[in-house]
Amino acid sequence: MTDTTATPVTAAATVDALRGENIVKRFGAVTALDGVNIRLGQGEILGILGDNGAGKSTLMKILTGFHPQTSGKLFVHGEQTELRSVDHARALGIECVYQDLALANSLSIYHNMFLNREIVHRGPLRLLNNRAMRLRAAECLEDIGVHVPSVDLPVEQLSGGQRQAIAVARAVNSNARILLLDEPLAAMGAREAGLIIDLIMRLKKKGNLSIAMIMHNYAQTLDIADRIMLMQRGRVTYERDSASTSVAELMDIVRREYREMRTGTR
């Protein structure tokens, strides 16, 4: 059946959430990024793949205002922007969950969800409003379908998957429009990874959020991401809609590269 009620494409719908043009990043003599082009469409999930040292984390850190790029341009919702700091990126709705999650393990779930942006009572003492934070944290987790026994539990009592979910919840709780995830499924078993994949899919369905995530597992990536890009030695060497590539094709590209390195043809 053909759809005759095509929605008109508005200008806003065609503006990428995030775009990087010819991004170069050098650390002294090391060129970590060698002219990377990246685009993240509105509401899109982009999977970033590549070997260790390919430059994936460096790219994320530039997109989140942690490192300035050596050269190249960044556009946030279509506007060219110099990201001055992580706080600046955050103010523009860009949130990142790093590999180490940066949670305070001995603090409760709800304190972690408001870490560095605590709700305080009015007045000169700025006392923590624990009641408000507890309530809001529970609401937020409920809203995105993350189930924990109690938001009073210290984070150290949670599993790796639950901790990752709390870190993601904290990021989206702050009105993130663009979410960057560095290996959200690292070191997780299949069941735990499933929890996070489900969470990411629910966030996508809620709309209004664009997600770029660094991944390891090709099959998982092709399952979740709308589009994938492969990074090798500081460059993007391959980019496709997930539907038009396969695990076999990706493995083939990486295998070829590995052979060339070993035989010294590169």
Ligand X SMILES: Nc1ncnc2c1ncn2[C@@H]1O[C@H](COP(=O)(O)OP(=O)(O)O)[C@@H](O)[C@H]1O
Q: For residue 245, state whether it binds Mg ion (rule: CB under 5 A).
A: no
| Residues 164 and 188: beta-carbon distance below 8 Å | yes
Q: For residue 58, state whether it binds ligand X (rule: CB under 6 A).
A: yes
Nearer Cβ to ligand X (61/227): 61
Residue 78 Cα distances to 12, 17, 212, angstroms: 9, 7, 17
Q: Give me the least distance between CB of 256 and ligand X, in Å please.
A: 19
Nearer Cβ to Mg ion (57/245): 57
Residues whose CB is less than 8 angstroms from the CB of residue 14 and which lie 6 or more positions away in sequence, other chains included: none
Q: For residue 50, state whether it binds ligand X (rule: CB under 6 A).
A: yes
| Residues 233 and 258: beta-carbon distance below 8 Å | no
Nearer Cβ to ligand X (58/173): 58
Task: From 49-57, 100-108, 201-209, 227-235, give the range in contact with Mg ion by CB under 5 A.
Answer: 49-57
Q: Give me the least distance between CB of 157 and ligand X, in Å please.
A: 30
Task: From 52-60, 75-83, 111-119, 144-152, give the range in contact with ligand X by CB under 6 A.
Answer: 52-60
Task: From 55-63, 117-125, 149-157, 218-226, give the range in contact with ligand X by CB under 6 A.
Answer: 55-63
Instruction: Choose which of 42, 57, 69, 221 interacts with Mg ion (CB under 5 A).
Output: 57
Partner in contact with 27, chosen from Mg ion, ligand X, none, beta carbon below 5 to 8 Å by kind:
ligand X
Put the strands of the sheet holding 71-76 in their side by side order: 30-40, 18-27, 71-76, 79-80
Nearer Cβ to ligand X (56/163): 56
Q: For residue 53, state whether it binds ligand X (rule: CB under 6 A).
A: yes
Nearer Cβ to Mg ion (65/93): 65
Q: For residue 54, state whether it binds ligand X (rule: CB under 6 A).
A: yes
| Footprint on this chain of Mg ion (rule: CB under 5 A) | 57
| Footprint on this chain of ligand X (rule: CB under 6 A) | 27, 30, 32, 50, 52-58
